[in-house]
């Protein structure tokens, strides 16, 4: 029921799209690794540069994949409340308790519609999937969404409440995925590999340059906050650069990723549990301050920890357990409709 978080494809083996399973596996590894690096980005320029490199593209690319598997507009709306919004509300409350009583953060007041940490993605995914059926009726929606994402930085309305800043700024990537067809993917796969390598190198150089010149804070890559009043035009240009780099890197990842079933495919089919559970794991690991006095060892530790977290939390047994627990929690809150029960008997 809950696989809509990262938009997992059909559950039947013969219909799976292994290209996007593998893409999801790569992206979720970057997500976990990026979050593990967070505690050291202020202490080492190399780690900070790697962090910037990851955050230039990992969530835009993940959003693209979610959009690609959101072409069934009626199903999007029908399932969005139960499979995305309800888990978001449950997990947001659990994460709040976790931060207060386990991590020991100071009381910051519970907010239903202001998601804690990475849970913004569930809330924005609900908004996109629920509203998409009507939004696609708008003429020139894709260029309009790009323009809105860029201009939203001039307004304080688009910030953390309802994750509106991210909902607006990441929406173009969701739409790019929605409008993307298999023939577009085939064209992407035909791009010469050398071009992709150049794009990766260019993204790395841009990341290092941004860090060295301190052009903007890492939070600007989150695409959630208004532009600074004193330099709005400059930051508008920075956001345009972020958009261009994110789109280019999304193309590169699709191009370089295998379309065949391999060791990544199982991980890619279960990225939702990795995404959710790592949000409760990374803060605990941060409290131990592992290798915080040695950047090289810290970097190696985060790579190993990211791989281990992704592997363990993507195991089918972990996914089944998570789904069982979440389904039961959702069923406790929601009343099963009679007509749903009748329709299930006919299937």
What mean pLDDT do residues 207-231 have?
A: 95
pLDDT of amino acid 13: 45
pLDDT of amino acid 336: 63
Q: How many Å apart are CA 155 and CA 253, to the nearest integer?
A: 33
pLDDT of amino acid 149: 97
C-alpha dihedral, 194 to 198 to 200 to 202, nearest 10°: 180
In this predicted structure, the answer to whether residue 196 has a pLDDT above a threshold of 70 is yes
DSSP state of 6: T
Torsion region of 173: left, alpha or beta (phi above 0 gives left; psi -120 to 50 gives alpha): alpha
Residue 283 pLDDT level (bands cut at 50, 70, 90):
very high
pLDDT of amino acid 342: 36
pLDDT of amino acid 158: 83
In this predicted structure, the answer to whether residue 201 has a pLDDT above a threshold of 90 is yes
In this predicted structure, the answer to whether residue 9 has a pLDDT above a threshold of 70 is no
pLDDT tens digit string along 116-148? Answer: 889 999 999 999 999 999 999 999 999 999 999
Mean pLDDT, the chain, rounded, equals 91
What mean pLDDT do residues 177-203 have?
A: 98
pLDDT tens digit string along 182-193? Answer: 999 999 999 999
Block residue for tokens 């696609």: 136
DSSP state of 117: G
SS (H, E, C) 286-303: HHHCCCCCCHHHHHHHHH
Q: How many Å apart are CA 186 and CA 140, to the nearest integer?
A: 24
Residue 156 pLDDT level (bands cut at 50, 70, 90):
confident
In this predicted structure, the answer to whether residue 10 has a pLDDT above a threshold of 70 is no
Whole-number percent of the chain with pLDDT over 70:
93
Residue 107 pLDDT level (bands cut at 50, 70, 90):
confident
User: Does pTM surpass 0.95?
Assistant: no
Q: How many Å apart are CA 92 and CA 107, to the nearest integer?
A: 15
Q: Taking the mean position of all CA atoms in its chain, how far away is CA 66?
A: 9
156: CB partners within 8 A, 6+ apart: 226
Q: How many Å apart are CA 76 and CA 164, to the nearest integer?
A: 19
Buried b (16+ CB within 10 A) or exposed e, 27-58: bbbbbbbbbbbbbbbeebeebbbbbbbbbbbb
Percentage helix, strand, coil for the chain under 3-state DSSP, each rounded to 5: 75, 0, 25
pLDDT tens digit string along 52-88? Answer: 999 999 999 999 999 999 999 999 999 999 999 999 9
pLDDT of amino acid 339: 43
pLDDT tens digit string along 320-334? Answer: 999 999 999 999 998
Q: How many Å apart are CA 122 and CA 91, to the nearest integer?
A: 10
What mean pLDDT do residues 306-326 have?
A: 97
């Amino acid at each position: 029921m809950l696989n809509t978080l990262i938009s997992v494809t059909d559950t039947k083996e013969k219909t799976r799209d292994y290209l996007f399973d593998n893409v999801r596996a790569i992206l979720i590894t970057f997500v976990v690794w990026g979050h593990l690096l967070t505690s050291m980005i202020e202490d080492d320029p190399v780690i900070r540069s790697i962090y910037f490199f990851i955050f230039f593209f990992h969530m835009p690319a993940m959003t693209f994949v979610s959009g690609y598997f959101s072409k069934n507009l009626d199903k999007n709306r029908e399932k969005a409340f139960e499979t995305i919004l309800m888990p978001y509300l449950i997990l947001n409350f659990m994460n709040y308790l976790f931060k207060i009583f386990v991590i020991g953060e100071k009381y910051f007041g519970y907010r239903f519609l202001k998601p804690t940490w990475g849970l913004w993605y569930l809330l924005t995914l609900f908004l996109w999937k629920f509203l998409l059926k009507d939004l696609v009726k708008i003429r020139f929606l894709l260029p309009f969404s790009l323009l809105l994402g860029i201009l939203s930085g001039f307004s304080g309305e688009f910030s953390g409440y309802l994750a509106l800043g991210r909902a607006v700024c990441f929406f173009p990537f969701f739409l790019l995925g929605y409008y993307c067809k298999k023939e577009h993917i085939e064209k992407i796969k035909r791009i010469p590999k050398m071009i992709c390598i150049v794009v990766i190198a260019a993204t790395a150089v841009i990341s290092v340059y941004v860090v060295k010149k301190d052009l903007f804070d890492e939070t600007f890559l989150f695409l959630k906050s208004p532009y600074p009043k004193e330099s709005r035009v400059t930051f508008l240009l920075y956001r345009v650069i972020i958009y261009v780099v994110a789109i280019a890197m999304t193309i590169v990842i699709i191009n370089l990723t295998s379309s065949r079933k391999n060791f990544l495919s199982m991980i890619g089919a279960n990225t939702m549990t990795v995404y959710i559970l790592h949000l409760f794991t990374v803060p605990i690991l941060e409290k131990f301050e592992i290798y915080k006095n040695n950047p090289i060892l810290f970097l190696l530790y985060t790579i190993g920890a990211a791989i281990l977290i992704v592997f363990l939390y993507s195991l089918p047994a972990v996914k089944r357990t998570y789904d069982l627990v979440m389904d039961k929690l959702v069923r406790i809150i929601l009343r099963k409709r009679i007509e749903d029960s009748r329709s299930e008997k006919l299937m």
